[in-house]
Structure 1
Amino acid sequence: MSDSSFLEAGQLASLKAKLRSGATGAPAPDPAPSSLPDLGVIFFSGLSGDSDPYELLLEVSRYVDGAGFGAVWTPERHFTDAGGAYPNPAVLGAALAMVTENVRIRAGSINLPLHNVLRAAEEWALVDNLSGGRVDLAVAPGWHARDFVLNPDAFQDRAQVLNRSREQLQDLWRGNTVQRTDALGESHDILTFPRPVQPELPVWLTSSKSEDAWRFAGENGFNVLSALINFGPPELKKRIDIYREARARVGLDPDAGVVSLMLHTYVGADMDEAVETVRPAMIEYLSSFVTQHATSGQSESRDKSETLRTLDQDRAEFLEMVFQRYVTSSSLIGDAKQARATLEGFHDMGVDEVACLVDFGLSKDEVLASLARLSPLLQNGA
């Protein structure tokens, strides 16, 4: 795999400046160093309290676009009540392109092994045109066996399929052709349309616990989207170090790669109010999430399913324990002072951006009030 397949260090530095400013033309100058990561928002569960999930998505996106947040991420999730509002981030991205002007429009993530890469290239190039060149993609192999009813043959080798599809997607984006055979057996060199605005497709690799995935991302010049799933901040710091060291080992600027971290976010008037506001919604969210992982078809998750069955009578206590862990070490839940301290801590670990997960069951008004309390901590107001 040649180095020309990836963004060079200088391009990545320029991209980071664009991500902060929302610019899509000439590169913006790097801002003065900050002790805080950049901020964006991410949607993941489709739980929206008293409002429609799409109303929440659009209203929040309009707000963060005007307030100076850097990006809006939308996921790809299938066949589940929690998250099922978001089956296609390209469709959501097209909608967001129409109601925003500045924020980067990101897939967080697209599960490439589920898709025909030609269709993915067409869809995201269309969103790139609609948005004036604001598309970024985080790509992932997919994880839940049930999702692969869309492409069952890809499940066992999904990591390898991801790499092949991602390489082809980047080639198509650059204007190269890929060879395909039609229904009559005739071979064609396929070039996809529309052509995108951006000459290079900015790519994040979605990874959480796998050290090998972090190393691969570093060696190949990708950015990383992560979440604190089944590991905590000390383990995150270790993985970021692996990533930076891998970049340096292949001659890339170790500090130029973007590490984006998803954190459940609610900034309240004070710490106690914040915790009690999110407690019912967050515990319900955690219960749904743990159950989905336990039924994913992977051996580690099946072990968790057995554990959950044995804990059935103590489920409430177990979920309260998980909730407390999230609040104290793995979320952006608290008042503005606590939010700043948390952001500073993650920045010190090497996190460049925090993607604030906001759709875990709070009302639209609560989410917007939280973001208004958080917005003074943006780069331009820190």
Structure 2
Amino acid sequence: MSDDSLLDAGQLARLKAKLRSGDAPAPAGDQRPPAPALPELGVIFFSGLSGDSDPYDLLVEVSRFVDRAGYNAVWTPERHFTEVGGAYPNPALLGAAVAVITENVRIRSGSVNLPLHDTLRVAEEWALVDNLSGGRVDLAVAPGWHSRDFVLKPEAYETRGQVLNESREELRKLWRGVAVERTDPAGERHDILTFPRPVQPDLPLWLTSSKSVDSWRFAGEQGLNVLTALINFGPAELQNRIGIYREARARAGLDPEAGVVSLMLHTYVGADTYEAVERVRGPMIEYLGSFVTQHATSGQAEAQDKARTLQNLDADRDEFLEMVFQRYVSSSSLIGDVKQARQTLEGFRDMGVDEVACLVDFGLSKDEVLASLGRLSQLLQKGA
């Protein structure tokens, strides 16, 4: 079956609604079926840019706020050896901090680059966070992407996809209480079980995926959730990938709608759309420029070629970044007023997105971020 023959996410959603209704007669009088729910909302930290604020102060204050306001999760990344994002080298440490200052939100990695680590340490660290949080841990895992990161484990770079899958399965075993075999310096084999034991009997897992269609299909077949971002493709391609993911789940005998698709979006909700766009223009363009610089040294040929092309634009570089900014804000972000935010979220929900992870640390001040999240929280209220 070709990808073109797959049901897209919109078709699946409509089919599911029809099955639920059982072709029942239309409601009498003025009664109408409820409008589709918006995606759940969480926050994600990725850049470590917070205006004049300390990035950790921003993390703490935002985590406290969203925990009270009804957001569903706080995501923290694993990033190494770069100024932008370098505030976040260890999501388990950050998750432990979030665990002790919150009561409700899920505490998530976005993501753990498993090939860089011994799975035993990952299991220990996150089981500790699971205990501190009372069982609120979820993990997104990834193969890693920047070749420089693999100075931590050079031998894993070429086979990082395979290592990711092997480590993921071993992590699940350890979490469930199944010992794994290891060899000590004397060559003696040991069955190792990690401690502390986690609160949750099973570890909810996301696979971080962007451009690769195969990774979306694999996530569906394996029953994994997906964390994604509109970095290397746009909304139309996202909808196609969600359709592939849902179809892969169905083929594997899994409920196609049960898998969670979490989408990272740069977020700023202002008093009006014009104010919001103008407020983020400077920080966003600077962020996009730094993102290009990182890709130029990533070790991935396609990303390097695109980055070098942009770097060679010289005087046209600012004009190009402005064009990218306008396109990104208009179709791939949660930037505008509350009305615009609702429309954007409804559009992504119709595509099959279950959650939006609001990226907030791209250069705005703490007060601006908190004000934005306060406005956005209106959409979390019942009946809003």
Shared fold (TM-score greater than 0.5)? Answer: yes
- In the alignment, structure 1 residue 262 sits paired with structure 2 residue 258: no
Q: Aligned partners of 1:74, 1:199: CA distance in 2, in Å?
A: 23
CA deviations 1:154-188 (Å, max 9, x no partner) are 00010000000000000000000100000111100
* Superposed CA offset, 1:112-140 (max 9, x none): 00001000000000000000000000000
**Cα distance in 2 for residues equivalent to 1:381 and 1:63:** 21
Residue identity matched to 1:131:
S
| Paired letter, 1:76 | E
1:54-133 aligned at under 5 Å gives the runs 54-133=56-135
Q: Which secondary structure state, in structure 1, belongs to the residue aligned with residue 298 of structure 2? A: coil
1:122 and 1:78 mapped to 2: Cα distance? Answer: 21
Kindly provide the amino acid, as one letter, of the partner of residue 211 in structure 1: V
Cα distance in 1 for partners of 2:94, 2:35 equals 33
Alpha-carbon distance in 2 for matches of 1:137, 1:281: 29
Distance of 2:108 and 2:220 partners within structure 1: 20
Query: Structure 1 stretches of 5 or more lacking a match?
Result: 1-31
State the identity as a percent.
Answer: 79
Aligned AA (1:88): N
Alpha-carbon distance, 1:306 to partner:
2.7
Tell me which residue corresponds to 1:18.
none
Q: CA deviation at 1:196?
A: 0.2
Runs of 4+ in 1 over 6 A off after TM superposition: none
Is 1:245 aligned to residue 212 of structure 2? no
Q: Give the alignment's Cα RMSD to 1 decimal.
A: 1.0
Structure 1 residues 154 and 205: alpha-carbon distance in aligned structure 2, compared to 1, 3 A threshold: same
Partner SS state of residue 136, structure 1: strand
Letter of the aligned partner of 2:346 in structure 1? E
In the alignment, which residue of structure 2 is the partner of 1:363? 365
Normalised by the length of structure 2, the TM-score is 0.90
Q: Would the aligned equivalents of 1:34 and 1:379 in 2 still touch at CA under 8 Å?
A: no
Distance 2:115 2:179 in 1: 20
Alpha-carbon distance, 1:312 to partner? 2.1
Residue number in structure 2 paired with 1:200: 202
* Amino acid of the structure 1 residue aligned with 2:354: D
Matches of 1:379 and 1:146 in 2, distance apart? 44
| Maintained 8 Å contact 1:138/1:205 | yes
Instruction: Please say if 1:152 is aligned against 2:154.
Output: yes
Q: TM-score, normalised by structure 1?
A: 0.91
Q: Which amino acid aligns with 2:370?
A: L
Query: 1:380: how far off?
Result: 3.8
Q: Distance in 1 between matches of 2:338 and 2:309?
A: 37
Aligned to 2:187: 185
**Counterpart code for 2:282:** P
Which stretch shows the higher mean deviation, 300-309 or 228-237?
300-309
> By how many angstroms is 1:313 displaced?
2.0
1:356-382 deviations in Å (ceiling 9; x for gaps): 000000000000000000001126453
Q: Which residue of 2 aligns with 1:346?
A: 348
Deviation for aligned residue 1:75 = 0.2
3-state SS of 1:348 partner:
helix
| Residue 287 (structure 2) aligned to one of 285, 288, 295 | 285
Matched residue count: 351
